[in-house]
Chain A
Amino acid sequence: AAGVIQSPRHLIKEKRETATLKCYPIPRHDTVYWYQQGPGQDPQFLISFYEKMQSDKGSIPDRFSAQQFSDYHSELNMSSLELGDSALYFCASSPLDTGNTIYFGEGSWLTVV
């Protein structure tokens, strides 16, 4: 079965640089979520989109932005990167009709040096 696809899987950036992560949800899933997981931490919700509109917002820094495109894929843009942004970034997707079950991608490892 198709899963949530994230790219790139690993990314190394320098401080103050910009990074973009991409997410391709499971086909026919209309909601996309972004989470950030620091080392040894639980995943922290950043932002979500339903039918290409922002639906919920969590602890996303102002330096970060995201959008969902007409083909339902989503991109997370991170600017002015800081060392503390080093984390595993998960994208997840869900359809409306399965009790809001959310399926996660493998994650994108961002290292800021």
Chain B
Amino acid sequence: GDSVTQMEGPVTLSEEAFLTINCTYTATGYPSLFWYVQYPGEGLQLLLKATKADDKGSNKGFEATYRKETTSFHLEKGSVQVSDSAVYFCALTSNQAGTALIFGKGTTLSVSS
């Protein structure tokens, strides 16, 4: 079945460092891909998405490009801030109505000043 694999954390960075969180997927058909972020004690917030190959999702300085040839959707940010400390989940879904999101295990990011 469909699945998502994320790099294991935690990822610890200094403020203004470059961030990459790797995500690869296995899916039949053409899934939509997402990154969700969960701040401590809070719910899941949609960070960015891409619905077809070569699409680039971006939000709040984060970017991810849907790469069908490598089945990847790596999350990047050029300069992280302390406020970016959170758990990041890569996820996919097919485009059929009612089909659930499949999540990766999550990657904890900790940014220090």
Q: Which A residues are closer than 8 A to B by beta carbons?
A: 30-31, 33, 42-43, 45, 48-50, 55-56, 58, 90, 92, 96, 99-107
Contacts and interface: CB of A to CB of B under 8 A. Distances in A.
Interface of B: 32, 34, 36, 42-46, 49, 51, 89, 93-106
A45 B104 CA distance: 12
Contact of A48 (B43, B45, B98): B98
A50 B100 CA distance: 11
A35 to B, nearest CB: 8
Contacts of A31: 97-98
Given A33-B100, A43-B103, A100-B32, A106 B89 contact: no
Given A31-B98, A90-B43, A96-B97, 4 more contacts: A49-B98, A99-B32, A103-B46, A107-B44
